[in-house]
Amino acid sequence: MNLTEEWERAVTQRTVKDRVYEAATTLTTPTTVADIAARADCTKEGARPHLEWFVDLGVLEKVADNPALFVRNEAYFEFRRVTELIREFETSAAIAEAIDEYRARERELAAHFDEPSPDAVAYAGIAARDDDAAERLREWRTVTRRLRELREAKLRLDSDGGHSAASLFP
């Protein structure tokens, strides 16, 4: 079996729940059950119980009832990213080293734009005149988010004596 056939087989074997989850993780704006079902290639009736289950798990937020509108719960995904960082770095010292590296890059990017934060930069103004600047601004936003997540990971590790809940689940 070649790679294309293997991929097609894996895609066709996904369950409705898997497809709804994949669609749900992309919901950055409130989205109807019908739209989610279309993205997941299933019926509204097939998607609805999975969406409610993902709300119960905290993966999604239900922001309206009639019509039902769902959006991904950013706090859930941030918690997962922080947990993954704890697993990746394992120690507070390793996270502190990564924080130092990200801080250095953050200072370089701030100096480039001569602004205190990426939110202070008008994206439309720089994107129109300079693709490199637009890419740097996207990087700065990513670096800023990663620093926040690294700090949270370090705080979690420090607060529970290095025995994070993440270490309990291999």
- What does the pLDDT look like over 53-70, one tens digit per residue? 999 999 999 998 889 899
Picking from 83, 98, 80, the residue whose alpha carbon sits closest to that of residue 157 is 83
- CA pair distance 21, 86, nearest whole angstrom: 24
Is the bond leading into 67 cis (omega within 30 degrees of zero)?
yes
- Is 80 exceeded by the pLDDT of residue 133? no
- Is 50 exceeded by the pLDDT of residue 87? yes
Regarding whether 99 and 154 lie in a shared domain, the answer is yes
- Is 60 exceeded by the pLDDT of residue 90? yes
Regarding whether 135 and 64 lie in a shared domain, the answer is no
Query: Could you tell me which residues are beta bridge partners of residue 31?
Result: 70
Write the pLDDT tens digit of every residue in 102-111.
999 998 888 8
Regarding whether 81 and 12 lie in a shared domain, the answer is no
- CA pair distance 27, 72, nearest whole angstrom: 5
Structural domain that includes position 33: 3-72
Instruction: Select from 24, 51, 72 the last residue of a domain.
Output: 72
More confident residue, 94 or 14: 94
Regarding whether 67 and 122 lie in a shared domain, the answer is no
Exposed/middle/buried for 46, CB within 10 Å: 0-12, 13-18, 19+? Answer: middle
Q: Are 47 and 37 in contact (CB under 8 A)?
A: yes
Residue 168 — pLDDT band, cuts 50, 70, 90? very low
Into how many domains does the chain fold?
Answer: 2
Q: What is the pLDDT of residue 167?
A: 46
Regarding whether 52 and 99 lie in a shared domain, the answer is no
Which range of 11-20, 37-46, 120-129, 152-161 scores highest in mean pLDDT? It is 37-46
Q: Helices 16-24 and 33-40, interaxial angle, to 10°?
A: 120
- Is 90 exceeded by the pLDDT of residue 114? no
Picking from 85, 81, 67, the residue whose alpha carbon sits closest to that of residue 30 is 67
pLDDT above 90 covers a percentage of the chain that reads: 36
Alpha-carbon Rg for the chain in angstroms: 20
Residue 166 — pLDDT band, cuts 50, 70, 90? very low
Regarding whether 125 and 142 lie in a shared domain, the answer is yes
